[in-house]
Amino acid sequence: MQHFYFDHNATTPVAPEVLETLVACLGQTYGNASSIHHFGQSAKQRLEAARRQVAALINANASEVVFTSGGTEANNLAILGMVRGAQQAHKHVITCSIEHPAVLSPAKQLGAEGVEVTCLRVGENGIVSPEDVRRAMRPETVLVSIMHANNELGTIQPVAEIAQIARQGGAAMHVDGVQALGKIPVDVQALGVDLYSVSGHKLYAPKGVGALYARKGVRLMPIAYGGHHERDRRPGTENVPGIAAFGAAAELAGARMAQDSERLTMLRDRLENTVLDRIPGTGVNGSRWNRVPNTSNLYFDGIDGEAMVIALDLRGFAVSTGAACSSGALSPSHVLKAIGLSDERARASMRFSLGRTNGVEQVDALADAISASVAHLRRISVHA
Amino acid sequence: MPEQPIAVAMSGGVDSSTVAAMLVREGRPVVGMTMQLWNQRRLPELAVEGATGRCCSLDDVYDARRVAEQIGIPYYVVNFEKQFEEHVVKPFVDEYLAGRTPIPCTLCNNYIKFDRFLEMADSVGAHYMATGHYARIRFDAGSGRYQLRRAVDDSKDQTYFLFGLTQEQLARTMFPLGELNKPAVRELAHSMDLAVASKGDSQEICFVPNGDYAAFMDAYLKEKGVSVERTEGELVTAAGRTLGRHEGVHHFTVGQRKGLGIATGEPLYVIATDPATQRVTVGSNDDLLSPGLFAKEVNWISIAGVAPGASVPAQVKIRNRHAAAAATLWGTDDPGRVEVRFETAQRAVTPGQGAVFYDGDLVLGGGWIE
């Protein structure tokens, strides 16, 4: 059976161009980037070229890019490093209820360390209100952390406006940009943010590599100790092949952004419109506007999302009920709960996230499979 | 559409793994599913090293996934923790607190494995399910009923726990191991090189580590913030003589001899527990004998039932490890209630346990001992 992939927000396949870079680097550029000799220098060159590539995609200076093991580490470094390094006696952090656990968990850890944490609610559109941020600001607020695009809904947050509020209040602004990079243009200077987290594997690069943009002058307390790598901000021998691949993927994403964006918007809307037209008791979770082009989160009243993921997988379509990280979890998605869905509707929701591998025929086949699965599941639940 | 797959409930043990592999070998499309029923991170005080009876551990899921990979079937973990707690764990605790001795495996079969799992199977497009139970099902054209029969391997027979299965459930269920004995199953697992072929059998109640149900209950009630009323009370004889005190009625079960904490000349056994007075009554072995019992919520399987006032000869099992005793089933005015009269009095008839009615190999039906 053929399997089609509609879960690009969980991870993406490595792009063929990126794979070439990765394999070449694994085979040939095996030196330690800290070594003095020829091999070390080659690795260092690769590393710095990749840094320029990633920096270019977000309009940063290369020296402001810190490579990490992925988005989670970048978020931890930004939040823990920033707040622990702040000098104030009393510290306050603002974040919001639809953040990824890679932001919420370090924030919770700070809470346990005595930092006050405000977790803002969002409206049913899945977008944080800058006014709410303004009201939550205090003199002791040291960090505001708001994601750029939500992983489950795809909704884009007004981070530029929020960054301005943070700056006026004397706080640093961190943005989890893992789900935005490569999907929408990112310009850290125009956004006016201090810290911006990104991940390679959401961008057709391999897993295990990410980066944190840390604006020049931002002081971070290290969260791990070892060597002087990454300008003393992140110790450990650099994952040169992964980083080189990330660089290649960043360059590719920049070159393809407009084209990918237009095509994915068309495919996503085609899927959504077909499904909404055909199946009653169905709707979009969160705003249909202000979304990244590839993401659609839909509810199908009366069905069990967990069963539908399995049913669709057995028909050859890979989708998810929400974040891959919460699969198999007992409670419904915290994001869907945060935008006001009942437990029942949250459990009846599915995320479709499209990518470069999908075409019109696949999308139409998925729409047919969704119609058939929903009809079957609803028939069963009537009998049950 | 291709042939509908069969959903195999895979626990990660040798039996259900062999079932999945057998069906694949027969060329049937199979989808493997493991039920996540209990979160082992709960009740950390019970997490003793080397504890047995750890249901739904990560190791079991790992094993099931490995077998699924080996035999090339799609595999999923489905989460029924909420339903398991509601329909199995909570009633288990409540029954003990009410002075009865529950059988959670039967509740799990009735409400989870052959209900929620079957529904999930249906949802994903599998009309039939198969499990590693040792029992047999056949359709009897004469009566138009699906009949449940004891397994060929008498020492492994699990029909005692399956008395609650309805005709609809039996119609959609396959027990491929019912015709095999355990050594043959292991041999089959070895011959197919299954990664779990040498894995030990699961024991006791799956969510209760080391079979220490009293410790489980104490931890569970503590987690729930339920302050158990003091259930300590007196140990008395049938004649009303007080022999000593005990730490709670839920620590005792009818027929129990050990752990009474009293030394007397003759061996003493628990003959009754009464949570209302918190009394545990003890007596001699003879005091445990009962000429009969009433069973409630009876489910009929191989026959349609017994009319009020009518009787059917049968052999009745009153707990899993009990040699079925010759008896007569008498119908009552309540179609869900049956009177059982034994030919010879039986020891330790325990409220809360199942009474399962057999006619030779056939399971006629069964109910809960009042």
Q: Please give, rounded to a whole number of angstroms, the shortest distance from the CA of B309 to a CA of chain A.
A: 35
3-state DSSP assignment of residue B164: coil
Check CB contact under 8 Å for B79 and A311: no
For A68-120, the pLDDT digits (tens) are 999 999 999 999 999 999 999 999 999 999 999 999 999 999 999 999 999 99
Identify which of B36, B39, B124 has the shortest CB distance to residue A307. Answer: B124
pLDDT value of residue B45: 75
Residue A104 contacts B, CB cutoff 8 Å: no
State the Cα–Cα distance between residues A59 and B167, nearest whole angstrom. 68
Do strands B6-9 and A349-353 pair parallel, antiparallel, or not at all (unpaired)?
A: unpaired
Q: What is the mean pLDDT of residues B14-31?
A: 96
Of B276, B314, B269, B299, the residue nearest B368 (C-alpha): B299
Identify which of A308, A314, A384 has the shortest CB distance to residue B119. Answer: A384
pLDDT value of residue B98: 82
pLDDT value of residue B283: 86
pLDDT value of residue B262: 65
Residue A221 contacts B, CB cutoff 8 Å: no
Q: What is the mean pLDDT of residues A214-238?
A: 94
State the Cα–Cα distance between residues B267 and B257, nearest whole angstrom. 7
Q: Which residues of B are catalytic?
A: 108, 206
CB A144 within 8 A of CB A150: no
Arithmetic mean of pLDDT over chain B: 89
Residue B339 contacts A, CB cutoff 8 Å: no
pTM of the model: 0.88
Arithmetic mean of pLDDT over chain A: 95
Chain B residues in contact with A311 by the CB 8 A cut-off are: 123-125
Residue B5 contacts A, CB cutoff 8 Å: yes
Does the pLDDT of residue A248 top 60, yes or no? yes
Q: In b/e form, how buried is each residue of B47-60, taking b as 16+ CB within 10 angstroms?
A: eeeeeebbbbeeeb
Which chain A residue has the Cα nearest residue B122? Answer: A380
Chain B residues in contact with A315 by the CB 8 A cut-off are: 125
B368 has which bridge partners?
Answer: B296, B354
Q: What is the mean pLDDT of residues B48-55?
A: 55
Catalytic residue among A25, A96, A119, A325: A325
Of the ranges A372-376, B38-42, B131-135, B288-292, which one carries the lowest mean pLDDT score?
B38-42
At A173, phi and psi to the nearest 5? -115, 120
Tell me, what amino acid is at B337? Answer: R
Query: What would the two tokens of residue A214 be?
Result: 């840390």
At A60, phi and psi to the nearest 5? -115, 170
State the Cα–Cα distance between residues B369 and A68, nearest whole angstrom. 63
Check CB contact under 8 Å for A314 and B5: yes
State the Cα–Cα distance between residues A305 and A288, nearest whole angstrom. 21
Identify which of B5, B76, B122 has the shortest CB distance to residue A380. Answer: B122
The residue whose two tokens read 């069990």 is A304
Check CB contact under 8 Å for B123 and A304: yes
3-state DSSP assignment of residue B96: helix
Does the pLDDT of residue A326 top 50, yes or no? no
E strand or H helix at A197: strand A195-199
| Residue A325 among the catalytic residues | yes
Q: In b/e form, how buried is each residue of B264-297, taking b as 16+ CB within 10 angstroms?
A: eeeebbbbbbebeebbbbbbeeebbebeebbbee
ipTM at complex level: 0.85
Residue B251: pLDDT band with limits 50, 70, 90: confident
Does the pLDDT of residue B263 top 80, yes or no? no
Which chain A residue has the Cα nearest residue B38? Answer: A330
Does the pLDDT of residue B260 top 70, yes or no? no
Residue A380 contacts B, CB cutoff 8 Å: yes
pLDDT value of residue B205: 79
Does the pLDDT of residue A380 top 70, yes or no? yes
Q: What is the mean pLDDT of residues A117-131?
A: 96
Check CB contact under 8 Å for B123 and A311: yes
Residue A236: pLDDT band with limits 50, 70, 90: very high
Q: What is the mean pLDDT of residues A341-350?
A: 93
For B166-204, the pLDDT digits (tens) are 999 999 999 999 999 999 999 999 999 999 998 888 766
Residue B31 contacts A, CB cutoff 8 Å: yes
Identify which of A315, A330, A376 has the shortest CB distance to residue B79. Answer: A330
Tell me, what amino acid is at B122? Answer: D
